[in-house]
Amino acid sequence: MPKVTIDGKEIEVAPGTRVIEAAKRVSVDAPYYCYHPGLSIAGNCRMCLVEVEKMPKLQIACHLQATDGMVVRTNTERVLKTRQHILEFLLVNHPLDCPVCDQAGECWLQDYYMKHGLYDSRVGEDKIKKPKAVPIGPTVMLDAERCILCSRCIRFCDEVSKTSELGIINRGDHGEIAVFPGKELNNPYSGNVVDICPVGALTDRDFRFKMRVWYLKEEDSLCNGCSRGCNIQVHYNLDRPHHTGGERVMRLKPRFNENVNKWWMCDEGRYGYKFHDQNRILQPVSREGKKFQEKTWEALIPEVARRISEGRTAVLISPQLSNEEIFLIRKVFAEKLGSQDLFLLSPNADGFQDDILIRADKNPNTRGAAELGFKTSPEALQNLAEQINRGEIKGLVVFGQDVYARFEKLGIKAELNRLAWSVFIGSNHNLMSESATYVLPSATYAEKEGTFTNFEGRVQKFNKVLEPLGQARSEWEIIEALARELGHGLSYAAAGEIFHELALAESFFHGMDYEKMTQGGSDIRSMAMPTIPALEQQDNLL
């Protein structure tokens, strides 16, 4: 194993390790733009030039392989001066339009200027004009003037999405990123080029100008868009509702997880966040004739509990629910109430799939439901429909799903009007919520915590990012309240307590620790960019 010394710190690394990686491991900061751990080495930005003993020229740390006895210095006068000038070169033709640039605040040119630049500009020449605000696809906007030609986006499209829409046209300082003639940047992973663009050249058409990024707050979470369970961050805004018409979730960003999604997420997941703020059910209601009447939780919970206890009630479990919620439903309805009528209804389980991230099953917890004993069975659902049609089932508990649409897709004919009553527990309106007897508003995944089990059997935790909108409550709290009302005193302070019980009860979950699961992923931006001691810099400014 080669042993290298970087700024006096010795480290042993695997053969073939790049110096930039070795440096990161001993917390030495070699700045870069073009390097990305998930892409091939381009070596074009030259920010990571370092001094190596016995080598007359400075070497780029991203390409240089660490060899035994190598002595690297990243902080000599020569390195710092060169770094400063590389930055100066990168800004020669940069338009410096930060005040109107959506990247401002998370721009590596700004950050590195404050850390490695801090020179007085001496560019007195006209800058080269290039196309600005060019939509190169449905999700991405290009500003060629801000581009530093690091080629990360090109390499992403060549190597990760394997769609190769992008290239560099023209030569020298007239070079610019462009889509090939007749093409547009429209692949299932387009949005990732915005994440990896270190400057304001590629911005997100969905997010552009919604909000300055320094107003955003962020919290780790999981994407619920398919059974991959990509690790994400939810970026949200609470303090300035007037900027965005009261909407809270502003954008989703992938979070690095070596075993699940690396640095990436798909566009379907990335832009599938609007339901957190749109079309929400905010208030418990009960049907009075053709109209809904607003009720309090205190009034409705006993009423629904009474209906459940009155006659045979079927429960349609959703793979959109967390492990804890499915476990709790099973515990209350099957174990405590002795019901045989629990069914899994899976929405959108046969969508688009590829061999990158996207799974055909658009539910985050199908595997978790299966491990808890619930699998989709068209025969069982057909059987249920027939019992409903014969009037044998009196009540129906639905979690979020549009049962009409699902049954129609499965070719099952159920006359739901034969039911004596139904309760819809969900976050967003649909046909089912419009026709149920009771509607109880529930939290979206960003408004509660819990775990999903992805298709590979990986159990991952998602955090509560936001308070539930309106009067919404998380499903496990609603079930717990119903159980209490039904005389089965359960009391969980948090989802973690349910998981603890679940891990003891179910062999699949044995040994798993809810608290440790928070370590599942890490922040994608800190993985892709060296840390910048922002506070130190601010002291300089003040």
Partner 1 sequence: MEKLISKYFVPGKTFSLAEFEQDGGYQAARAVFDKFPDPKALVEEVKKSNLRGLGGAGFPAGMKWSLVPQNTGKPVYLVVNADEGEPGTFKDKYILRHVPHLLLEGIIIAAYANNVHKAYIYIRGEYTHPYDMLQKAVKEAYDKGYLGKQIFGREFALDVVVHRGAGAYICGEETGLLESLEGKKGFPRLKPPFPAVVGLFGCPTVINNVETLSYLPYILNRGAEWFAKLGSEKNGGLRLFSVSGHVQKPGVYELPLGVSLREIIYTHAGGIRGDRKLKAVVPGGLSAAIFRADEIDVGMDFDQLRAKNTMAGSAGVIVMDETTCIVKALYVTMRFYGHESCGQCSPCREGTGWVSKILRRVAEGRGRTGDVNNLLDICSFMGGTTICALADGAAMPLRSYIEKFREEFEYYVKHGKSMVDGTALETQTLHDTSHMSHVGS
64 burial class (0-12, 13-18, 19+ CB within 10 angstroms)? buried
Shortest Cβ 40–partner 1 spacing (Å): 10
162 or 375: CB nearest partner 1: 162
Q: Report, in this order, helix, strand and coil percent for the chain, each rounded to 5.
A: 30, 20, 50
Backbone phi, psi, residue 188, to 5°:
-65, -5
For 293, half-sphere exposure in the C-beta direction (CA atoms, 13 angstrom radius) is 7
- Dump strand ranges (E) for 64-223: 71-73, 134-135, 140-142, 166-169, 176-179, 202-204, 217-222
Nearest to 498 by CA among 451, 460, 446: 451
> Which residue lies nearer to partner 1 by CB, 129 or 212?
129
The only residue of 92, 299, 505, 534 in contact with partner 1, by rule CB under 8 A: 92
Point out which span in 6-14, 17-25, 90-98, 458-466 binds partner 1 (CB under 8 A): 90-98
Check binding of 85 to partner 1 (CB under 8 A).
yes
- Smallest gap from Cβ 150 to partner 1, in A, equals 9
For partner 1, the closer of residues 28 and 60 by Cβ is: 60
Q: Is 129 in the site for partner 1 (CB under 8 A)?
A: yes
Question: In terms of C-beta density within 10 A (0-12 exposed, 13-18 middle, 19 or more buried), how is residue 293 classed?
Answer: exposed
Closest CA to 444 of 404, 399, 494, 486: 399
- Cα separation, 492 vs 476, in Å, equals 9
Mask 61-80, x = binds partner 1 (CB under 8 A)?
--x-----------------
From the centroid of its chain, how far is CA 23? Answer: 29
Binding window for partner 1 (CB under 8 A); candidates: 172-180, 278-286, 388-396, 527-535: 172-180
Name which of 87 and 529 has its Cβ closer to partner 1: 87
CB of 45 to partner 1, least distance (A): 6
Question: Positive or negative CA dihedral for 303, 305, 311, 317?
Answer: positive
Out of 54, 99, 120, 126, point to the residue binding partner 1 (CB under 8 A). 126
Q: Which stretch binds partner 1 (CB under 8 A): 120-128, 268-276, 361-369, 515-523?
A: 120-128
Using CB under 8 A, pick the residue from 67, 75, 82, 353 that binds partner 1.
82
Contacting partner 1 within 152-171 (CB under 8 A): 167-168, 170-171
As a whole number of angstroms, the distance between CA 116 and CA 30 comes to: 11
- Minimum gap (Å) between residue 43 Cβ and partner 1: 5
Q: Does 54 bind partner 1 (CB under 8 A)?
A: no
Tell me how far apart the alpha carbons of residues 188 and 228 are, in angstroms, rounded to a whole number. 15
**Contact call for residue 443 and partner 1 (CB under 8 A):** no
Q: Closer CB to partner 1, residue 63 or residue 287?
A: 63
Residues 6+ apart with CB under 8 A from 355: none
Smallest separation, CB 345 to partner 1 (Å): 51
Given the rule CB under 8 A, which of 56-64, 134-142, 211-219, 259-267 is the region that contacts partner 1? 56-64
Total residues contacting partner 1 by CB under 8 A comes to 36
Contact 421, 307 (CB under 8 A): yes
How is residue 321 written in tokens? Answer: 């629910």
In the complex with partner 1, which residue's Cβ is closer, 54 or 291?
54
Binding site for partner 1 (CB under 8 A): 41-47, 49, 57-58, 63, 81-82, 85-86, 89-90, 92-93, 122-126, 128-129, 148-149, 167-168, 170-175
